Amino acid sequence: MKNKILLLGLMPLMAFGQQNVHIPAPEKSPEVKDNGTVVFRIKAPEGKEVKLSGAFDGVTPSRSTYEGGEYVFAFDSVAPDLYDYWFEVDGVKTLDPSNPYVARDIAWLSNIFIVPGGNADWFATADVPHGSVHKNWYRSDMLGGEERRMTVYTPAGYEESGETYPVLYLLHGMGGDEDAWGELGRAVQILDNQIAAGKTEPMIVVMPNGNALRNAAPGFTGDGMYIAEGEHSIDPEKIFVKSFPEIIEFVESNYRVKADKAHRAVAGLSMGGGHSWQLGLRYPDTFDYIGLFSPAVRWNGAGVDENGDDTELIKLLERQFANPPKKYQIAIGRDDFLYGINESYRELLDSLQLPYEYVESEGGHTWRNWRNYLVDFLPALFRNP
């Protein structure tokens, strides 16, 4: 018997996976150097043309070489941030074969990497206590009686503490779903890192699917592996906003939360900024902290009638600000295509002498801005409840 035994401990380390494990390309790509230089490498022995796209589209590399069948693109002095990119090989979009880090925007995949420093240090996974992330399903009677998916972040220590926590509802844009703030927004890392640093209060963060026409991210709906094409509803008031109490009820029934206005916040980007704006108007006693990031505000049907008459909106605003939220923030980039409607909305708030904070940044309607807005918004929440 003994001499039949195969001593597995002596087998080469990779033998376990020989039939199912692929080893990534040996190229290190991207290589992020301490001096801010970023180097991309791709083996393309037969490639006629390789182009770098995404955040680096149209940016001329500091150096580029083609040697031994490998393209190398180096960019110097890259500012700290999270970047997305992909290659085009002979005109075909190609994810970097050496980089397994991929983020999804609806049905579009990009590689990502981080250049450390500044706010980007909040985006990185660090050796700090980590919160848990839950993918839950809740039933929505208002949205067809179907089950809908939400992502819930509970802070490190939640399991053991027995305590109750405040809640931030964090809403995605039209081009997103319940995974968006986690994947592209780095919300989990930002929360973990800011809470560990004592910069932000431990809180629960709820990221529901805000697309009234879909109940979950691609691959998690009854449609199976459908290809999402951004077919979101733009009628938030009548659908998603009205169904929001179902989300709050699910969260408050299933998580240990402080269930009052002083311990609820809502923030969102673009369409989710519009949702947050409407949630503030429609439920004036529910949220004490409201963050509108590049928000789709002041539209037809949301307190503004089809002729542009905002009498109803003004009434709602006056009701909301009779007992004003502790924080009401609008953040937008100077190049954002929603800048104009936000400017007119701010004029309306000014004319009504309603208090709000305003953050104006460089850039446009981008995740780069939304990550930074979240970094700046979180530390103010629930500090003086």
Using CB under 8 A as the binding rule, the residues of this chain from 251 to 280 that contact a copy of itself are 253-254, 270-271, 274
**Which of 35, 307, 353, 384 is close enough to bind a copy of itself by CB under 8 A?**
307
Q: Shortest gap between Cβ of 138 and a copy of itself (angstroms)? A: 9
Our CB check for a copy of itself shows the closer of 201 and 310 to be: 310
Choose among 169, 159, 160, 102: nearest CA to 132: 159
Question: Would you give the binding string for a copy of itself spanning residues 326-365, x where CB under 8 A is met?
Answer: ----------xx--xx--x--xx--x------------xx
117 binds a copy of itself (CB under 8 A): no
Stretch that binds a copy of itself, among 7-15, 197-205, 282-290, 324-332 (CB under 8 A): 7-15
Q: Shortest gap between Cβ of 81 and a copy of itself (angstroms)? A: 14
Our CB check for a copy of itself shows the closer of 4 and 68 to be: 4
**Which of 62, 119, 156, 245 is close enough to bind a copy of itself by CB under 8 A?**
156
243 contact partners, CB below 8 Å, separation of at least 6: 140, 142, 143, 212
Residues 54-83 that bind a copy of itself (CB under 8 A): none
Whether 241 and 268 have beta carbons less than 8 Å apart is answered as: no
104 binds a copy of itself (CB under 8 A): yes
Q: What is the number of other CB atoms lying within 10 angstroms of the CB of residue 56?
A: 20
Question: For 96, what's the count of Cα atoms within 13 Å in the CB-facing half-sphere?
Answer: 29
Our CB check for a copy of itself shows the closer of 18 and 77 to be: 18
Q: Are strands 102-105 and 327-333 parallel, antiparallel or unpaired?
A: unpaired
DSSP letter, residue 267: E
Residues 13-52 that bind a copy of itself (CB under 8 A): 13-25, 28, 42-50
- DSSP bridge partners of 41: 72
Provide the terminal-to-terminal Cα distance of the chain, rounded to the nearest Å: 72
Angle at Cα 295 formed by Cα 368 and Cα 117, nearest 5°? 20
98 binds a copy of itself (CB under 8 A): yes
Cα(287)–Cα(325) distance, rounded to whole angstroms?
Answer: 7
**Which of 259, 262, 304, 349 is close enough to bind a copy of itself by CB under 8 A?**
304
User: Three-state SS for 221?
Assistant: strand
Cα(249)–Cα(252) distance, rounded to whole angstroms?
Answer: 5
**Which of 38, 83, 115, 175 is close enough to bind a copy of itself by CB under 8 A?**
175
DSSP letter, residue 4: G
Stretch that binds a copy of itself, among 120-128, 238-246, 283-291, 376-384 (CB under 8 A): 120-128
